[in-house]
Amino acid sequence: MIIVNLKGGIGNQMFQYAFGRKLALKNDDVLKLETAGLARANDVGDIYRPFSLDAFAIEKNIATPEEVRQIKYPYGIVSKAARWVNFKILKNTHTLFEPEALNWTGDLFLDGYWQSPLYFDDIRETLLQEFQLLTPLSAPVLKYKSQMETVPSVSLHVRRGDYASNPQVHREFGVCEASYYQAAITRVVEVVKNPVFLIFSDDIAWVKEHLALPPSAVFVEDPELSDVEELALMSMCKHNIIANSTFSWWGAWLNQNPDKIVIAPTPWFDSIPYDKNLTSESWILLPKS
């Protein structure tokens, strides 16, 4: 049995699921999801994020507490001590790509972020199907979708929120500055004729004040849109400009346009280790500040 410990927001949960799904398929094993830890996020200083994968057509098997205990702590207190050292002392969150992890077999409790497409690019078709929305497209989604279908649409995602307001988060992740977005817009305009930018952001006011956008830009700010619907809309655009955010990362990865242009920021983190394997080889990297 393979159990994936879900943590973080929807983008992180998608990375975790994708890696678990890859190992389950490779090992012909059962994949189950540990969701209980999401509710305990505030207890360890993280922001509470709800279980979001149930919006998709995934294999949704929730692990029982007994299954988690058996796989997570096979040797009782020894296993607990080893995990404490791994996370608290070694600070190993499995963010960097670890090729040897693809060879793991047997009962596994996957507790990490697994942020690289190299873990699951070869099961892309499976994930494209499983990350489809379960419910029919809502009226707001259809409205924006109709605006995108006949034009060279480009999603542009600006992530502010705690990246800008929380000193610790800002120190670790950094934030994409206006200069990054202006350079990305210029790059797109050079190669895409008459692009129409769809703006996704948790701070639309900041975008309107700080970015010089073409008059044709569309601000996606319908309050009835859910997060997963916004992500789906990003993936429907022909091209993508993403933030250092797993949310828009997945919008770009799920984009099925074979000629898509994806522009991503570098460095992805400011003080957290990462490597180039976090982004796909074909993506264009521009300085985020």
Those residues whose C-beta lies under 8 Å from the C-beta of residue 230, and which sit 6 or more positions away, are 200, 220
Whole-number Å distance between alpha carbons of 79 and 71 = 10
Whole-number Å distance between alpha carbons of 271 and 26 = 34
Give me the percent of the chain exceeding a pLDDT of 90.
80
pLDDT at 84: 57
Instruction: Supply the pTM of this predicted model.
Output: 0.94
| pLDDT category of residue 30 using cuts at 50, 70 and 90 | very high
b/e per residue 142-168 (b: at least 16 CB within 10 A): eebeeebeeebbbbbbbbbeebeeeee
Residue range 251-272: average pLDDT?
Answer: 96
pLDDT at 148 over 70: yes
Per-residue model confidence as pLDDT tens digits over 88-124: 555 678 899 999 999 999 999 999 999 999 999 999 9
Whole-number Å distance between alpha carbons of 254 and 128 = 7
Cα 34 off chain centre by:
18
pLDDT at 86: 65
| pLDDT category of residue 85 using cuts at 50, 70 and 90 | low
Q: Is 136 strand, coil or helix? A: coil
Provide the 10 A C-beta neighbour count for residue 241.
Answer: 31
CATH 3.90.1150.10 for the 139-287 domain, yes or no = no
